[in-house]
């Protein structure tokens, strides 16, 4: 391993030196460096057993990335080296360890003939991602690239075919899945092919297959599991409408986060997604409706439902608004993608969300001098209603297609953004929420919350400002009421400083009425940013784009460095 890393470092150094010495006609080199580190410092905050382990094991943990992309003509070459030494940040996959190559690829892209070929690691998405999406999100600890080959070909105007195959990344270096992933996707525009000018009409067809041979241990499990998708979307003027349907062939039931594979209990999966809306200047309405049943798809069955999202092949985010304020993100919804009977019966989900916004015009009674922006958002999610005759012991359940069962989650929020002058502006938000903690977290209880939040910004100049945020959460269960405040000062384009506190003052357990305080700042110059903070992190869910991971609570120092050149 040491020799390989030395050779890799030497080769990369020579490559960078050569590229930097050559002129622009010889290519372009982009380098990105990112380092995220945490140093855990124990204080008097009460901790659970797994949280105490942070202070008993490696107190200093760091995730580091160096990515180089070289472009020359129609060619592109990329290399990403990752280091998690002495250990990865808390609650990242234990498969991220030591230092090794994370991503390596070569790509040929010739738009003149419509050919796009990639060898090595690559990311891909078919449609909305319900059937396939591979991507990297360092904040969530996700990097599920496929290592293999991909060919894209534009065989007609508005028509493209993509085929791919390979093994999925499930750890460091070339630690790949035991399974083989294959896929094909066809997108074509009826509008372009038929020269339609007033309507934009598109269709798509997709296929994804997973070959995993477990028959030595589970002789009744199928080696091949297939997924098929069809979709269409139309836009005319300000109106748009889209639909996507995905079908997954029978697959063995997997429970207890991949520990239990029930080879004789097989269920098919399906998903239906509908998007519709209308937008014009100053007004917009968007509605998303979705039904999900047993659509969890992982490159290996024993990875099903793991807390690190390792090996996930498709993208099934929670269709709820990603709120800006901290207290609005304490009770976040998570999708039940896979049918489970243990520890609770979860046959699937059905629901949707809507976004409505309106901007009152300037120089009106409600718009004022600078206008007023108002947004209303709501979501509702229920379990699929299962029919009479469900047998939990025999793992048998049948659901109605559009029948709503037990309520999982709903919220309704109003947000008002107002600019009063060139110096003053504000944001005010109010939100109500129902959260079925028993079925979302496999915990216990149901609760209702009511959250208010306000933000005021005062600009001394174009480069100097101060911001204050105040929040409060009322809850009738769990840890009860919270209050939070943030003060941020930006003295220039380069510097920013903040102090924040989240206080769980309403907790029935007095010794757990904690202050989650943080203080820190950041320095930015060009493409370089250095951020440092000290304080306490509240344990719970962190979500990006509707995908979540659990984080432990801890006290300590955080350092983030990123640059590009």
Spatial separation of the C-alpha atoms in residues 361 and 56, rounded to whole Å? 58
Average pLDDT for 536-562? 89
| E strand spans, 85-145 | 98-110, 115-122, 125-126, 132-133, 136-137, 142-143
Q: What distances in angstroms separate CA 11 from CA 5, 8, 18, 461, 565, one per listed residue?
A: 10, 5, 11, 48, 19
Answer for the pair 262, 341: CB distance below 8 angstroms, yes or no: no
Quick check: 20 pLDDT over 70? Answer: no
Average pLDDT for 328-355? 91
The percentage of the chain sitting over the pLDDT mark of 90, rounded to a whole number, equals 76
Spatial separation of the C-alpha atoms in residues 134 and 148, rounded to whole Å? 13
Helix (H) or strand (E) holding 367: none
According to the model, what pLDDT value does residue 397 have?
83
Can you list the pairs that 384-388 forms with residues at least 24 positions away whose Cβ atoms lie under 8 Å?
384/291, 384/293, 384/347, 384/348, 384/349, 384/350, 386/345, 386/347
What's the predicted TM-score (pTM) here?
Answer: 0.91
Quick check: 517 pLDDT over 70? Answer: yes
Spatial separation of the C-alpha atoms in residues 241 and 107, rounded to whole Å? 34
Residue of 88, 100, 106 whose CA lies nearest to 148: 106
According to the model, what pLDDT value does residue 11 have?
47
Token output for 98: 């030591």
Average pLDDT for 405-423? 96
Average pLDDT for 504-528? 95
Residues 6+ apart with CB under 8 A from 353: 287, 288, 319, 320, 321, 377, 378, 379, 380
Terminal Cα distance for the chain, rounded: 29
Answer for the pair 390, 398: CB distance below 8 angstroms, yes or no: yes
Mean of all residue pLDDT scores within the chain: 92
Answer for the pair 440, 409: CB distance below 8 angstroms, yes or no: yes
Token output for 565: 């050149």
Answer for the pair 347, 339: CB distance below 8 angstroms, yes or no: yes
According to the model, what pLDDT value does residue 389 have?
66
Average pLDDT for 187-213? 94
Spatial separation of the C-alpha atoms in residues 302 and 32, rounded to whole Å? 34
Spatial separation of the C-alpha atoms in residues 93 and 310, rounded to whole Å? 8
Q: Quickly state the pLDDT bin for 25 (edges 50, 70, 90).
A: low
Q: Which stretches of 371-491 are DSSP H helices? A: 437-440
Token match 């959250």: residue? 451
Spatial separation of the C-alpha atoms in residues 516 and 504, rounded to whole Å? 8
According to the model, what pLDDT value does residue 112 have?
94
Spatial separation of the C-alpha atoms in residues 36 and 560, rounded to whole Å? 5
Residues 6+ apart with CB under 8 A from 506: 474, 475, 479, 480, 481, 482, 513
| Pairing of β 115-122 and β 125-126 | unpaired
């Amino acid at each position: 391993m040491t020799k390989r890393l030395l050779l890799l470092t030497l080769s990369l150094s020579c490559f960078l030196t050569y590229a930097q010495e050559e002129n622009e006609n010889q290519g372009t080199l982009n380098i990105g460096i990112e380092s995220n580190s945490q140093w855990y410092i124990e204080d008097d905050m009460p901790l659970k057993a797994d949280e105490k382990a942070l202070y008993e094991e490696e107190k200093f943990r760091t995730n580091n990335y160096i990515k180089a992309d070289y472009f020359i003509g129609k060619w592109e070459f990329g290399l990403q080296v990752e280091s998690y030494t002495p250990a990865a940040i808390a609650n990242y996959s234990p498969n991220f360890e030591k230092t090794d190559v994370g991503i390596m690829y070569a790509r040929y892209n010739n738009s003149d003939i419509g050919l796009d070929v990639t060898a090595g690691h690559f990311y891909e998405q078919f449609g909305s991602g319900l059937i396939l999406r591979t991507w990297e999100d360092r904040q969530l600890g996700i990097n599920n690239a496929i290592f293999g080959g991909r060919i894209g070909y534009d065989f007609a105007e508005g028509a493209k075919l993509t085929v791919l195959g390979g093994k999925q990344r499930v750890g460091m270096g070339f630690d790949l899945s035991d399974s083989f992933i294959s896929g094909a996707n066809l997108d074509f525009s009826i509008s372009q092919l038929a020269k339609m000018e007033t309507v934009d009409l598109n269709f798509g067809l997709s296929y994804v297959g997973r070959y995993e041979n477990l028959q030595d241990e589970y002789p009744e499990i199928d080696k091949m599991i297939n997924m098929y998708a069809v979709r269409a979307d139309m836009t005319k003027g300000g109106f748009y409408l889209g639909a996507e349907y995905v079908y997954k062939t029978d697959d063995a039931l997997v429970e207890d986060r991949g520990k239990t594979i029930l080879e004789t209990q097989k269920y098919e999966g399906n998903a239906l997604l509908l998007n519709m809306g209308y937008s014009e200047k100053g007004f917009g309405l968007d509605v998303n409706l979705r039904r999900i049943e047993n659509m969890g798809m992982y490159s290996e069955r024993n990875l099903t439902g793991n807390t690190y999202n390792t090996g996930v092949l498709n993208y099934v985010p929670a269709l709820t608004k990603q709120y800006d304020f901290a207290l609005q993100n304490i009770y976040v919804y998570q999708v039940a993608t896979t049918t489970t009977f243990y520890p609770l019966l979860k046959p699937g989900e059905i629901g949707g969300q809507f976004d409505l916004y309106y901007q009152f015009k300037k120089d009106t009674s409600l718009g004022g001098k600078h206008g007023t922006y108002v947004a209303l958002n709501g979501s509702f999610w229920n379990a699929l209603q299962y029919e009479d005759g469900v047998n939990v012991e025999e793992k048998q359940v049948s659901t109605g297609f559009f029948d709503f069962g037990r309520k999982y989650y709903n919220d309704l929020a109003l947000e008002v953004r107002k600019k009063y002058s060139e110096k003053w502006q504000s944001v005010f938000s109010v939100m109500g929420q129902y959260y079925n903690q028993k079925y979302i977290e496999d915990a216990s209880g149901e609760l209702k919350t009511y959250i208010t939040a306000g933000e005021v910004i005062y600009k001394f100049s174009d480069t100097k400002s101060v911001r204050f945020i105040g929040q409060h959460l009322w809850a009738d269960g769990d840890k009860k009421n919270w209050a939070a405040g943030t003060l941020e000062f930006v003295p220039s384009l380069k510097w920013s400083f903040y102090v924040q506190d989240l206080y769980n003052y309403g907790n029935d357990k007095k010794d757990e009425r904690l202050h989650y305080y943080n203080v820190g700042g950041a320095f930015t110059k060009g493409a370089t940013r250095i951020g440092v903070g000290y304080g306490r992190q509240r344990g719970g869910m962190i979500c990006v784009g509707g995908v979540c991971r659990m984080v432990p609570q801890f006290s300590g120092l955080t350092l983030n460095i990123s640059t590009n050149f």
